[in-house]
A and B are shown apart, each in its own frame.
Chain A
Amino acid sequence: MTEPSAHAAQRAYSKDYWDIVFEQLGRRRLFQLATVVLALIYASAVYAPLIANDRPYVLEAVDYQGYTKALRTLYPAALSLGKVAKQGEAAYLAARAEGSDFGYQQAVEQERQAVETQLGTLARYAPAEQRATLAELGAATDALAARAQAGDAELGDDAGALKDRAKEVRDAFKPLDPEHPEAGGLALVGVRSYPLFEAIDAWEFFFMVLWAFLLTWPVWNRVVNRVVLGGRRERIRRARKPKLAFVLVVSVAAMLIWRGTVGGSMTFATAPYKDALTSGEIVATHVVFPPIAQGFAETSASENYRPPTWHASAELDEKGYYVRGARVPQADPITGFLPPSVPVQVRRGEAELNAGARHPLGTDSVGRDMLVRLLWGGRVSLAVGLVSALLLVLIGTVIGAVAGFFGGWVDLLISRLIEIVLCFPAFFLILMVVAYTDPSVVPPIIAIVVVIAMVRWTGVARLARGEFLKLRDQEFVVAARALGFSSRRTIFRHILPNAMGPLLVSGAFAVASGILTESALSFLGYGIQHPVPSWGSLIVESRSAEHWWIQVFPGFAIFITVLCYNLVGDAFRDALDPKMKKEGA
């Protein structure tokens, strides 16, 4: 019974502006391809910490070094506490170093804490059933310290008992050496931690959640439209804004929850986990590394300028020496001296020495993996492009709108200003301002974004001005003014939505040009360098033709991104162009 009414609704539905635009865009294969590629590029940037990181997702490990050190220190610490307790306050004060004002209470407390610290370390890794022993020892320690602080004089026996118990614990808690299990000992239990997630900031998590929504949009959008909205186009149209709001609210909520629970932040660009695991300082019972277990700032001195590992010139022998090319170790012809070289070390979690996936895009001057740096660098480049474009469209639209709407001398003044700014070679002007900005006062990334927007707004302003000049005498604007709406309301609620199309198109091109500008700036040495690289600054790592991989791959990433943005902008322009619509119909 519901069928006929649904059909009636379908028939009564009149397409709105965005319906037509999306219909036009849907016909363009290249546009769809470009959108998908862009979504993936952005995903790789947003999820870079999850894809390429030198921190493991999960680490269940025993800090053997720390444990044995605690075990060694436990007995002396207990001994020392016993000594102070036995001594009593008067003797302590008489014996303490001259001029010291370290009181008896403090001294006891300090000794107590020393024992507790060792016990804490032991308890972290000891099996659960053994922890009771440690707790008992802890209780005894506390009791002794409390009595000493209360001024109890006769503590000699208790101190002796504590010492003996500490000795017992020391002998009983000898760890099982994983390399020599036959020697026996206590099988230690690893402590579970999540180093990678602990290094993810709340704002990073926000974008991760947001991007998860965007990537799965085709799926959940369809489900919501069919199931919740019953496939009715009127309702689907009305649901556009609530959907967007829902996605944003959920992402922000996720961010706040993350801040409250994990509260992660990356204090250091590199983490010691891989080195410690490789050298055996800590022993993992369970460890999960990300797909690419390399940090963006993780260096490897012996593996500098290594070509892509799938390439023949990167081949190493089992000792870690180059097999081909100029870097094969050569013995001195006269002395026969073979220069010692540090062989390449394969750290825990990394791919094999000659595996193609070890450094698919090679390494830079200090052995940092180029693929990883490319992934992380995308965050900077893409962000610069996007933010500068947003800012530029905003500035240009406001100024252009004011000029076009008010006309008269305001228009004259703004037009002159636009003309003056247009006269300068934009790139050099940006270069000049960025070069003169003190990086210690304004971070280069912010300087670049702001300067790009401040120099390049003129194009958008001219466009907006033209649109406003065209629209301001149309009936609906005249009607709005006749109704007594304020200028602001007329501009933003009535004219701007109708002028949005061309501005969006110029925004898409502005992102592309922002990425290009930033990379060119970095290439000339005035861009972003540390700690997270940008695509442009990656290319500058080497100008030598020997290191072709350093120049080829980051440039290619820029090229693909710019190409996609140009395709998207072009498709949008065609979709918004009334001439093309006539053709399509």
Chain B
Amino acid sequence: MLSYILRRVLLMIPTMLGITLVVFCLIRMAPGDPATVMMGVGSGGAMTEGGTSVQDRVDAFRHKHALDRNLLVQYLGFVGPFNVKPDGHEWFGGSGKDPWGGLLAGDLGNELQRSNVPILEELGRRLGVTLLISLISVIITYLLSIPLGVFSAVRQGTRTDAAVTVVLFLLFSIPTFWAGLMLILAFGKSGLGWLPVLGLESKDAADFGFWQALWDRGLHLILPVATYTYGSFAYLSRQMRAGMMDVIRQDYIRTARAKGLSEKVVVLKHALRNSLIPVITLFASVLPILIGGSVVVEYVFDIPGMGRYAYDGLVQRDYNIIMATTTFSAFATLLGILMSDIAYALVDPRISYD
């Protein structure tokens, strides 16, 4: 088992390198040189160094961010562990003040516009927000969809089952951003006026006591969590129902029934456990969304999470933010796949480790 995990982890290394390469190439291939983009931002306000002429400032900016090095060196600077900027490692002609950098050194660079904000810190802050929402959403999803899937599989062929299937199908087909907009219309000020629709807390949240703040946060979370949840809930319930129906057809279920066990015991003890395997491992595919957040949902509800951060990076043309968020969520997916394989191997003894 341990050697299996180790081999899987080692196999991840080339994939990780591939991911960094893809991210790097995408950003470098993109039209619009970062220096030129920064010139446009606040009339080059972010470019304070260099001489008075535009070209001097652009050159200084490019030099400072190592954009004037060749692509191979730039890629090395992105992956690390060397810092290839002017204040970086001596091997790359730097001053040696700050020799390490790049992903391997845990350095994602600073934002371009707010140049004193390290992206790693900001990422951590955003991750907290996104994790909170998506964890709640995942827990609700599993709590609802497993019983529902079992229920409709057991009632297979009845009207209830048909109704549940249709409703799940409808939910599954609703566009996420539209669902968010409709929820805002229905529950926001223009509709019933029950719930706040934007952001994570009220404007005067700073003055609230603990319980009041908690209540406020809870109210703000209801709509985003609902938007996050309904799709995966529909998907997971359908998977659960299908898995359960697969299992119910098996011979050992017939045997269990033939033994005279009650239907309850057959379903809950014999069938449910085995049908849970594929659903539990689906958790791994949820993980990247859990970490990366949904750009659309966070955009609709104006939530300062990871997805929103990535979108903002795109709007600001901040290549550091884009590279950081993309790499981060790709790694999260990779981790999810690994965890799913390990979980599968753990719970299903039929899987061989070879």
Chain A residues packing against B (C-beta within 8 Å)? 416-417, 419-425, 427-429, 431-433, 435-438, 441, 512, 516, 519-520, 523-524, 539, 545-546, 548, 551-552, 555-556, 558-559, 562-563, 566-567, 570
**Could you list some 8 contacts between A and B, CB below 8 A?**
A421-B22, A423-B331, A424-B19, A427-B295, A432-B314, A545-B191, A546-B190, A551-B182
B182: chain A residues within 8 A (beta carbon): 551-552, 555
Inter-subunit contact A551/B185 (CB<8 Å) = yes
Stretch of B83-91, B136-144, B173-181 on the interface side: B173-181
Return A470 CB to nearest CB of chain B, in Å: 19
Q: Which of B26, B32, B189, B307 contacts A433 (CB 8 A)?
A: B26
Q: How far is the CA of A552 from the CA of B182 in the complex (A)?
A: 7
B101 at the A/B interface (Cβ < 8 Å)? no
Q: Return chain A residues, CB-CB under 8 Å to B233.
A: none
Q: Is B326 an interface residue (CB 8 A)?
A: yes
Q: Considering the chains assembled together, what is the distance between the CA atoms of A570 and B22 in angstroms?
A: 34
When chains A and B are docked, how far (Å) is the Cα of A427 from the Cα of B292? 11
Closest to B333 in A: A423
Given contacts A423-B19, A520-B296, contact A551 B176 (CB under 8 A): no
User: Is B299 in contact with chain A by the CB < 8 A criterion?
Assistant: yes
A425 and B288 contacting across the interface, CB-CB below 8 Å = yes
Asked if B42 lies at the interface with its beta carbon under 8 angstroms from chain A, I say no
CA distance A424 to B21 in the complex (A): 12
Could you tell me the distance in whole angstroms from the C-beta of A558 to the nearest C-beta in chain B? 5
Closest to A548 in B: B185
Please tell me if the beta carbons of A432 and B329 are within 8 angstroms of each other in the complex. no
A422, A423, A438, A555: the one contacting B181 at CB < 8 Å is A555
9 closest A-B pairs by beta carbon, nearest first, are A555-B178, A545-B190, A563-B173, A436-B30, A420-B18, A423-B330, A423-B333, A562-B173, A551-B181
| Distance of A436 Cα from B299 Cα, bound (Å) | 19
Which of B26, B169, B325, B330 contacts A567, CB < 8 Å?
Answer: B169
Q: State whether A438 and B31 are in contact (beta carbons under 8 Å apart), knowing that A423-B334, A548-B190, A566-B173 are contacts in the complex.
A: yes
Q: Could you tell me if A555 and B329 are in contact, using CB atoms closer than 8 angstroms?
A: no
Chain B residue contacts of A422, Cβ below 8 A: 333
Taking a contact as CB atoms under 8 Å apart, the answer to whether B173 and A524 are in contact is no
- Please pick, from B19, B26, B169, B289, the residue contacting A566 in the complex, using a CB distance under 8 A: B169
Task: Give the residues in chain B near A424, CB-CB below 8 Å.
Answer: 19, 22, 326, 329-330, 333
A423 near B177 with CB under 8 A, answer no
Residue of B nearest to A540 (CB): B177
Chain B residues with CB under 8 A of A566: 169, 172-173
- Residue numbers in A under 8 Å from B30 (CB-CB): 436
Cβ of B151 < 8 Å from any Cβ of A? no
Given A524-B299, A555-B181, 20 new contacts (CB under 8 A) = A421-B22, A423-B330, A424-B19, A424-B333, A425-B288, A425-B289, A425-B333, A428-B295, A428-B329, A429-B326, A432-B314, A436-B30, A438-B31, A512-B173, A519-B177, A520-B177, A523-B177, A524-B295, A552-B185, A559-B174
Cα distance A427–B288 in the bound complex, in angstroms: 12
Chain A neighbourhood of B31, CB < 8 A: 436-438, 441
Contact A545 to B185, CB < 8 A, known contacts A424-B22, A558-B178, A563-B170: yes
Q: Using CB atoms, name the residue of chain B closest to A550.
A: B181
**Is B248 positioned at the interface, with any CB of A under 8 Å from its CB?**
no
Give the distance to chain B from A439, nearest Cβ to Cβ, in Å: 11
Please report the C-alpha to C-alpha distance between residue A555 and residue B331 in the assembled complex, in whole angstroms.
33
Per DSSP, chain B at the interface is: helix
Q: Is the CB of A420 within 8 A of B172?
A: no
Q: Which residues of A contact B311 (CB under 8 A)?
A: 431, 524
**How many Å lie between the Cα of A552 and that of B296 in the bound state?**
17
Whole-angstrom distance between the alpha carbons of A567 and B191 in the complex?
32
**Least Cβ distance of B275 to chain A in Å?**
16
Q: Could you tell me if B184 and A435 are in contact, using CB atoms closer than 8 angstroms?
A: no
Main secondary structure of the interface of A (DSSP, over half): helix
State in angstroms the CA–CA spacing of A520 and B31 once bound together: 23
Residues of B within 8 A of A427 (CB): 295-296
The answer, yes or no, to whether B146 is at the interface (CB within 8 Å) is: no
Is B15 an interface residue when CB atoms closer than 8 A count as contact? yes
What are the residues of chain A within 8 A of B19 when measuring CB–CB?
A: 420, 423-424
Output the residue of B176, B181, B288, B333 with the most chain A CB within 10 A.
B181
**Does B322 make an interface contact (CB < 8 A)?**
yes
Which residues of chain A have C-beta atoms less than 8 A from B22's C-beta?
A: 420-421, 424
Please give the distance in Å from B237's CB to the nearest CB on chain A: 14
Q: Using Cβ atoms and an 8 Å threshold, which residues of chain A touch B296?
A: 427, 520, 523-524
Most chain B CB atoms below 10 A, which of A520, A546, A552, A556: A520
Q: Would A516 and B170 count as touching, CB distance under 8 A?
A: no
**CB-defined contacts of A548 to chain B, threshold 8 Å:** 185, 190
Q: How far is the CA of A2 from the CA of B335 in the complex (A)?
A: 70
A416 to B289, CA, bound (A): 22
What are the residues of chain B within 8 A of A570 when measuring CB–CB?
169
Q: Who on chain B is nearest to A434 by CB?
A: B314
Closest to B170 in A: A563
* B148 contacts A by Cβ under 8 Å: no
Whether B295 pairs with A516 at a CB distance below 8 angstroms is no
Residues of A close to B333: CB separation below 8 A: 422-425
- Kindly list chain B residues whose C-beta atoms are within 8 Å of the C-beta of A429: 326
Q: Which of A422, A423, A428 has the most CB of B within 10 A?
A: A423
User: Please, which residues of chain B bring their CB within 8 A of the CB of A551?
Assistant: 178, 181-182, 185
> Once the chains bind, are A555 and B175 in contact (CB under 8 Å)?
yes
Q: Which of B187-214 contact A (CB under 8 A)?
A: 188-191
- CB-CB nearest in chain B for A544: B190
A567-B181 Cα distance, complex, nearest whole Å: 24
Min CB distance B83 to A, Å, is 26
0/1 string, B309-337, CB within 8 A of A gives 1: 01100100000001001100111011001
| Interface membership of B14, Cβ < 8 A | yes
A428 touches B326 (CB 8 A): yes
Q: Chain A contacts of B299 at CB under 8 A?
A: 524
* C-alpha spacing A248/B307, complex, angstroms: 46
Contact status of A428 and B292, CB under 8 A, knowing A435-B314, A436-B31, A548-B190: yes
A354 to B191, CA, bound (A): 25
**Closest CB-CB distance, A374 to chain B, in whole Å?**
14
Residue-by-residue, is B3-35 near A (CB-CB < 8 Å gives 1, otherwise 0)? 000000000001100110010001000111000
Chain A residues contacting B32 (CB-CB under 8 Å) are 436
Shortest distance from the beta carbon of B175 to any chain A beta carbon, whole Å = 5
Selected from B18, B26, B177, the residue in CB contact (under 8 A) with A416 is B18
B176 touches A520 (CB 8 A): yes
Chain A residues closer than 8 Å to B26, beta-carbon distance: 432-433, 436
The answer to whether A431 touches B295 (Cβ under 8 A) is yes
Contacting pair A423 B175 (CB below 8 A): no
Identify which of B176, B322, B334 contacts A432 (C-beta below 8 A).
B322
The chain A residue sitting closest to B12, CB to CB, is A419
Q: Which residues of B contact A556 (CB under 8 A)?
A: 178
Residues B329 and A519 in contact, CB atoms below 8 Å apart: no
Minimum distance in angstroms from B43 CB to a CB of chain A:
22
CB distance from A438 to the nearest CB of B (A): 5
Cα(A520)–Cα(B180), bound, Å: 12
| CB-CB nearest in chain B for A561 | B173
How many angstroms from the CA of A75 to the CA of B189 in the assembled complex?
Answer: 70
Asked if A425 and B329 make an inter-chain contact with CB atoms under 8 angstroms apart, the answer reads yes
**Interfacial chain B residues near A433, Cβ < 8 Å:** 26
Cα distance, A432 to B334, chains bound together (Å): 20
Whether A559 and B188, one on each chain, are in contact in the complex, defined by CB atoms closer than 8 angstroms, is no
